[in-house]
Structure 1
């Protein structure tokens, strides 16, 4: 009984000390950390969420160059995967916090510099992602008919910069409905054991109505023994490929494939050498590829040219070799080779008070859960630096009050989260008329006009 009473008394004393300390913090406005996050995609919102949850005084401002928030959740998720977009509900809750503000239509590095942000905030977190795409670097890449997968996804998702190319946009849906594409090849420079897609994605492709897969049995023969010791996700994925390539399909599947009018296939161990021009010299007609062999095994296997070449006739070529981050401001350290901001646990090297999270921190890899954990880690670094005194709260910072004056002087009109909710309501209303979840506005000028900017 005595020990229990002692523990309760200690807990109350501890809580009283925390409350006393908390009230002291409240009495000094200068001790409330002003933090800004650049980028309103998953990395930005998860960083803000963790900071707000674990620091009871922090004010977090999120800046975004587009009028609309949510980054790749809005512009990178396939329209037929609406469940992935449910995280928007969590991000909206964060934005509704009375200690969080959203400012869209503000381009950092142009409308306001990072140095100016650092003067206005105790901590600046760069979470602007990877907005560029890697290039193949081969002759003919600029021919008509050659696009990056990023541009294609941006087109059907209504990304403003790709709007001319379902929440799929009405124009994209009409174009795809009229498409005469009958066969799609997915080409990889390595083999089946190095593919980057998931079993869920493969299963969806195999079950795609009106299509049949083209898998060469020779690519999968003998893989059964090889995959015994590989990690379970890779093993299950490979087993599904092997089953689809080598086993006789069931009656229902065979019937569906027999009546299919479209095909897709996997072509392994081919590396692009040149996009071949049509007779007019302007349009792509095909691609020449080096046949490769693998040196090493597993994830570390390298594709080495064999000296043989292969040509594939095709009028549309989409390069899907990854995204790439760009330097935001000349004052920020940047590794152009890796395409990231050099950092240690999210702390930008040689720049106290500057942090990074998401793809610009680690490179364009992983899924939303990866970004969530990564962003929480960066936010934790900020919290630790606040606690240790590395970020000096005694230095008064004005936060957005200071930035607002800069933006006003430069004729920039930020979009608030309530402004976004007006755009959101308009999109949903337009979608309802078309029998879909929303019809996205794709012109920033139309978005700004809607909210009276």
Structure 2
């Protein structure tokens, strides 16, 4: 090929941006078009991180630096499989990397999940983060709430439910979220994990920060601080596990406080049923478990019914398939060999198709995992190009894909448009002495970030 290698990356969260960065830093002469379904970039960094965690959102600054590179072009407000098919993309790109992540909530798989008041944590995160794909209002009339899961998403959901609206007003929450939180009646948040403290998936800093609000008292029952041989091994082998256990032990040992919102973390309680009344959540039933010695647990046959009016399940995200690309429903990933998309589980490589991030490995791991994932995938792509395995696209002019999208009347948002949207959000925030107020309506986002008349 005489012209630069043309690569499309689908998904502009960290996985897609890191892959784009590695490609342009490589010894290839390459240009990247970074496609995004949303009108704005950054994926779960914009729409999946709690608004009171600006430290994590600081990752956006480093992602900004990547997106400013002239070899990378952002094309937003485009859904691959609907606005543009994968077959069509082969005409314009030598290779395509899918980094579409995961936003759907995993079910608990227990009776009662059809009751009103049972929510996926991701739905609530989408609401309070102003994701235009999610609800604009939220029923926060429940005084007692259950959160199932002991990972960082459950911490975020629990903390947002337990804080006051005014505590969160200093963040970038949209006006509709602030209005809903003002009506929040939650006084007790009950967090349930089926195993013990050493098996919790919290990160130490986030767990410790949970207790920093003056309106929240975190409570752990002393009898829930229990370890078996595998748990002790986990503490010795990982400092982060030991720090989490130490923090939970400190919560269990202290005297009761007077904060108005009580946040209970219950270990060794496995949800078995959500109970209802008139179609509405009325309680959650759990079975007490005990450690087996190897870090797993077994049910004891002792059940407890906890009166709650809402349940939030924070037990993981589920990647969604992309039309025109194989998807393994059992593993909830694109079939792959570590980078190449395969025709099926243990199938053959599909020429020019690659995957990275959560759609590749499932919704596990942190930013470090995402970076190493992207490196593995881009190394495969580069090796394939150098060995002559990539079939050159027939339409190589960067304007060609824009002409196709314009012919379909798709208002494409751009990186320059993101700067306009970003400036509008910051201006809205300054008017109220806040850093920004996020714009949540899809059409309004496109008006700022899309084509300018």
TM-score class, shorter-chain normalisation, is: 0.7 to 0.9
- Larger Rg belongs to: 1
Change (3 A) 1:391 1:307: same
Alignment match, 1:55: 27
Give CA deviations for 1:305-340 in whole Å, capped at 9, x if unaligned: 3333211111121100100111101x3221101111
1:34·1:399 contact (CA, 8 Å) conserved in 2? no
**Bigger CA drift: 419-428 or 89-98?**
89-98
Report 1:280-299 matches (<5 A).
281-298=278-295
1:385·1:391 contact (CA, 8 Å) conserved in 2? yes
Report 1:105-120 matches (<5 A).
105-120=77-92
How far did 1:116 drift? 1.1
Describe the SS at the equivalent of 1:115. helix
In structure 2, stretches of 5+ residues that fail to align are 138-170, 343-348
TM-score between both structures, scaled by the size of structure 1:
0.85
TM-score between both structures, scaled by the size of structure 2:
0.85
Give CA deviations for 1:326-363 in whole Å, capped at 9, x if unaligned: 1101x322110111111122111221210001100111
Describe the SS at the equivalent of 1:274. strand
Distance (Å, rounded) in 2 between the aligned partners of 1:351 and 1:435: 52
What is the aligned length? Answer: 410
2:416·2:449 contact (CA, 8 Å) conserved in 1? no
1:163·1:443 contact (CA, 8 Å) conserved in 2? no
Change (3 A) 1:419 1:182: same
Give CA deviations for 1:49-86 in whole Å, capped at 9, x if unaligned: 11011135201000001111100010111111112122
Report 1:184-333 matches (<5 A).
184-220=189-225, 226=232, 229-246=236-253, 249=254, 258-278=257-277, 281-298=278-295, 301=296, 303-329=297-323, 331-333=324-326
1:112·1:406 contact (CA, 8 Å) conserved in 2? no
Change (3 A) 1:51 1:313: same
Alignment match, 1:19: none
In structure 1, stretches of 5+ residues that fail to align are 1-24
Distance (Å, rounded) in 2 between the aligned partners of 1:399 and 1:202: 50
**Residue 411 of structure 1: which of 400, 409, 412 is its match?**
409
Give CA deviations for 1:248-280 in whole Å, capped at 9, x if unaligned: x4xxxx6xx5331121111122222222112xx
1:36·1:121 contact (CA, 8 Å) conserved in 2? yes
Distance (Å, rounded) in 2 between the aligned partners of 1:433 and 1:267: 42
Write 1 or 2 for the structure with the bigger share of helix: 1
Alignment match, 2:8: 36
Alignment match, 1:45: 17
Give CA deviations for 1:377-409 in whole Å, capped at 9, x if unaligned: 21222122222222245x654264343343233
2:339·2:354 contact (CA, 8 Å) conserved in 1? yes
Change (3 A) 1:219 1:413: same
**Bigger CA drift: 52-61 or 42-51?**
52-61
